[in-house]
Amino acid sequence: MNSAFATPTASLDDPFYYLTNFRFVLDWVGERHADLLSADERAFLDQFDNLPRASQALLVRMVMRKGELFRLSKLSYAEIGDSAAAMAPLIALGWVDDQPALSVDELFHQLRLAELRHILADEIRAAGLNASSAKTVLYDTLTSQLIRVSPLHTWWPDSIDKVVRLKVMEACDRLRLMFFGNLRQGWAEFVLTELGLQRFEVVPFTPQSRAFQTRQEVDTYLTLHHLRQRLAAGEPHAELHSEVPPPSDNRWLATRRARLLLQLGREAERSGESALALTLYGDAGSSEARIRQLRVLERLGEHQAAFELATQALTSSPNETEHQALARILPRVRRRLKLPVLPRDIEPAHARWDLTLPGPQCVERAVVEALGEPQAPVCYVENSLITGLFGLLCWPVIFEPLPGAFFHPFHNGPADLYRDDFVARRRDIFDVCLARLEDGSYREVMQATWTEKHGLASPFVHWPIVDEALVELALECIPAEHLRACFERLLGDLKVNRAGLPDLIQFLPDAPTGTPRYRMIEVKGPGDRLQDNQRRWLMFFHRHEMPVAVCYVRWADSAETTL
């Protein structure tokens, strides 16, 4: 049975608002993910429910703060009262360690400079340091000497404070992951929503709607996440490679695995480990990984292998980005192999304007001021206008509650938005929306959506730029057939094609009949060149005879010439 869910938030006037939100997540996970929980995790839910409210609140305060170590004196909250008393049940359950062993790094992080000077006075004198040395000097000098790991009372016997370690953060992160389907979102979502800083579409869903279907999928996500963290922390990529989990039948997790392998491959390539880079890129299997694999093969002089891989990629329906790269690589490889070089597609010449303006200043703003007229306004839109109009027309499709698309109240768009089958799963509904461009009802629909949905989070509509006046002017001046062509190209690769659109648009509402009533303008400042995604859009506009120009700017007081 379908139901709708709104964003559940406690009032910030309630001093325990954070506890209400945390309990909501626990109840949600307990109800919808019970089969994915271990015995220990189910016990955690039950035991948390039986704790005194002050102990629950203190635990949540620690969970929502950074790190796992806390000084008891700093865990002071009016609504909780005596933190030591609230902590006791948590210690009894083993959820908090009240005598954790501290490394010197942790000691320096927890204690103030005066406290460190006090408890390390002998070590400071022995090292020949001044008693007033800065904390960084003490750290740099003493960390190599102080290798012991001891509780605070050993480091500082006369301390009246305690340092405690939260031991259930891993379990809480797993519960948060099952709720959000990612570890990027956190508890701040509730607060931002309560403050009105973000609002979300209310989407119908079923109790079975969830990010993970098996516990193994949760484990795989966490493994990939921790490997990426370790890579960012500088651990050797070769060692991390051996810990990458095997391919998953879950396409979403397979994509995350491919991204990790691509990152590992880049690190191997930077380190000169070409053989390992080729292995990692080959295992990743993504289009970007194939292009990098081809470039490594070229550098190694493995031109036959590069030719075979590039030819295979070209015949396997590559996306536009990969096709563009292959069109550059294959002629080089064919020349190396002394094979006939096939004629390349000639990129059509685009309309070009050269402007000399006073500067330097913001180049887009300078062009807006130079070209804009009261009857022919120029607006800065970059990637927001075409995507915004698409988002308004196709709002019902984007927020269609298909399985795997929505599973918590804080989605700004479907979870499968950039997966390969996103459009295919919704093609019939997209066709219904796009048909409005044929029957003329699209203007009314898009304007009504703007009014009804204004301010709601959307993956396509950037409200600060796509205001009501801009939408009305765009719908007046841009023909429906041009919008349809752009929208179809977006659907070809939503992640890639949403970028690279021209910076500006000039509206010409009074243009003579039969001439364009708008023109898009890509702006390039001194020394700036067209990017590949911009070139692809320009070629698209040329094929569809849509008005676009590239404006090259040089500053009047600069000797720099425009290429």
Say yes or no: 386 and 494 in one domain.
yes
Say yes or no: 295 and 365 in one domain.
no
203 domain residue, yes or no: no
Say yes or no: 275 and 312 in one domain.
yes
Residue 249 pLDDT greater than 90, yes or no: no
- Last residue of some domain: 285, 313, 336? 336
Distance CA 393, CA 395 (A): 6
25 domain residue, yes or no: yes
DSSP code per residue over 414-451 = -TTTTSTTHHHHHHHHHHHHHHHHHHT-HHHHHHHHHH
264-279 pLDDT per residue, tens: 999 999 999 999 999 9
**How does residue 1 score in pLDDT terms, banded at 50, 70 and 90?**
very low
Average pLDDT over the chain reads 92
Residue 2 pLDDT greater than 60, yes or no: no
Say yes or no: 212 and 188 in one domain.
no
pLDDT, greater one: 346 or 286:
286
Distance CA 37, CA 291 (A): 41
Say yes or no: 380 and 511 in one domain.
yes
Residue 53 pLDDT greater than 70, yes or no: yes
User: What is the pLDDT at residue 559?
Assistant: 45
Say yes or no: 188 and 212 in one domain.
no
Q: Are strands 378-380 and 504-507 parallel, antiparallel or unpaired?
A: antiparallel
Say yes or no: 314 and 447 in one domain.
no
109-139 pLDDT per residue, tens: 999 999 999 999 999 999 999 989 999 999 9
User: Do the Cβ atoms of 350 and 548 come closer than 8 Å?
Assistant: yes
User: What is the pLDDT at residue 343?
Assistant: 75
End-to-end CA distance of the chain: 62
Say yes or no: 50 and 182 in one domain.
yes
Say yes or no: 414 and 506 in one domain.
yes
User: What is the pLDDT at residue 9?
Assistant: 58
User: What is the pLDDT at residue 563?
Assistant: 33
> Which of the residue ranges 8-17, 428-437, 500-509 would you say has the lowest mean pLDDT?
8-17
User: What is the pLDDT at residue 426?
Assistant: 96
Residue 345 pLDDT greater than 70, yes or no: no
- Last residue of some domain: 308, 336, 364? 336
300 domain residue, yes or no: yes
In this prediction, what percent of the chain has a pLDDT beyond 70?
96
Residue 7 pLDDT greater than 70, yes or no: no
Residue 560 pLDDT greater than 50, yes or no: no
Strand order in the sheet with 378-380: 351-357, 548-555, 518-524, 504-507, 378-380
Say yes or no: 442 and 534 in one domain.
yes
**How does residue 194 score in pLDDT terms, banded at 50, 70 and 90?**
confident
Residue 3 pLDDT greater than 70, yes or no: no
**How does residue 227 score in pLDDT terms, banded at 50, 70 and 90?**
very high
201 domain residue, yes or no: no
324 domain residue, yes or no: yes
Find the CATH number of the domain harbouring 247: 1.25.40.10
474-522 pLDDT per residue, tens: 999 999 999 999 999 999 999 999 999 999 999 999 999 889 999 999 9
> Which of the residue ranges 203-207, 254-258, 339-343, 399-403 would you say has the lowest mean pLDDT?
203-207
User: What is the pLDDT at residue 8?
Assistant: 58
395 domain residue, yes or no: yes
Residue 4 pLDDT greater than 60, yes or no: no
Average pLDDT over residues 86-100: 97
Domain limits for position 240: 208-336
399 domain residue, yes or no: yes
Count up the domains in the chain and report the number. 3
292 domain residue, yes or no: yes
Average pLDDT over residues 28-57: 96
User: Do the Cβ atoms of 219 and 23 come closer than 8 Å?
Assistant: no
Average pLDDT over residues 423-452: 97
User: What is the pLDDT at residue 420?
Assistant: 84
Cross-strand bridge partners of residue 521: 504, 549
